Amino acid sequence: MSDDESVMRPPGPLFGLDAPFPCFPENDTGFQIRYIPKRIQNLYYMTTKGIRTPMKKGTANLMQGEIARVGALIACEGTDAFPKALMGFINRIVPVDITLVIGFSAGTVPLELFRDFDAHSEREYLKRYARGAYLLDPFYQCTINGTASGLYPIRDIAPDRFFQSEYYASYYNKLPLVDEIGIVQNLSSRWCFVYSMGRTPASGSYSAHEIRQLRRMEPVLSALMVRHWGGTILASDRKEGLRDLNETTSRIYDYAKSLTPRGISPRESQVAALILQGHSNHSIAAALGIALGTVKILRKRLYAKLRISSQNELYHVLFPSVMGAPDTS
């Protein structure tokens, strides 16, 4: 090899250097860098494909620790220790206060796989969510509507007035939750599951940095979750028949007969169901494929038949229908 062949010039502007430096071929895919200032050696690694992302001091040790924790988590997969180990792993990335792992299908009652609640949240969950409030859960709605697998903050998938909805006031806020992120995984054309990570006021909302950290680890976490819970979900063939919007509509339609002699129409029941989920008039029009003016007329008729005058009254009157029985608490 001649002197000319042993000298290679890196892209000067990236390094802040214009002079060539010796580079000795290590193999067919990379080079061993020599005679470069130490601060640059510590920040960059050069391959034949170019300059990779800078590595800060201490990153190697951090990565080794993270790899060891992933290895320990993999070792737990398939055992009873896995759910708690997974919670511990995630909590090293971001604090999580309430955890729920649940399987959803548009044709069945949700299949609970794991939950970690404090005593108060446990009572609220069993009293409301498990009895039927899940039908209004934005994560239930997005999964049965064919949302792609991935990580979703609740604000990205909830209806435009979710935080003014009865579901939020009567369940979500009583846990209490201020934020939530779900890892959604589609297992088949019928089944998916959600790993829900809720935050209470003690931890506050997720920051953009925390969301990025979770997104970084999501492929690994999702793969392990599918391996651990996927078989259980797919083996389940429960057919209790609670079906998304149609089931909610049916419950409201039947329940309204006890409130007014005339009852309400199927279309008015649909509008009521969407209002309970937290949709605005514009969102309802888009969901049902009807004009905004038609939504307003249906809403006016609904209020008149139920002898109410506000959305809050509608929540109070019809929310028990979603629970399957009047709420006497």
Structure tokens at 199: 């935050």
Three-state secondary structure call for residue 313: helix
pLDDT digits (tens, 9 = 90+) for 218-233: 999 999 999 999 888 8
Label residue 151 exposed, middle or buried (CB < 10 Å: 0-12, 13-18, 19+).
buried
pLDDT digits (tens, 9 = 90+) for 97-148: 999 999 998 767 788 899 999 999 999 998 889 888 898 999 999 888 889 9
pLDDT digits (tens, 9 = 90+) for 75-84: 999 999 999 9
| pLDDT at residue number 14 | 39
pLDDT digits (tens, 9 = 90+) for 123-137: 999 888 988 889 899
pLDDT band at 299 (very low <50, low <70, confident <90, very high): very high
| pLDDT at residue number 223 | 94
Find residue 302's DSSP bridge partners.
none
Cα 86-125-122 angle, rounded to 5 deg:
65
| pLDDT at residue number 23 | 41
pLDDT digits (tens, 9 = 90+) for 234-257: 776 443 333 456 778 888 988 888
Three-state secondary structure call for residue 269: helix
Find residue 21's DSSP bridge partners.
8
Host H or E run for residue 215: helix 208-235
Contact 161, 279 (CB under 8 A): yes
d(C-alpha 47, C-alpha 11), whole Å:
12
HSE-up (13 A, CA, CB side) for residue 83: 14
- 263-270: Cβ within 8 A, 24+ apart: 263/305, 264/301, 264/302, 264/305, 264/306, 265/301, 267/298, 268/298, 268/301, 268/302, 268/305, 270/245
Contact 234, 192 (CB under 8 A): no
Supply the DSSP symbol for 107.
Answer: T
Q: Where are the beta strands (DSSP E) in the chain?
A: 7-8, 21-25, 31-33, 46-47, 50-51, 98-105, 111-116, 150-153, 179-186, 191-199
| pLDDT at residue number 16 | 39
d(C-alpha 33, C-alpha 17), whole Å:
14
Nearest alpha carbon to residue 322 among 283, 278, 264, 277: 277
Could you report how far apart the first and last alpha carbons of the chain are, in Å? 87
Cα 243-245-251 angle, rounded to 5 deg:
75
Q: Is the pLDDT of residue 25 over 60?
A: no
Compute the radius of gyration of the chain from its Cα atoms.
27
Structure tokens at 110: 């949700």
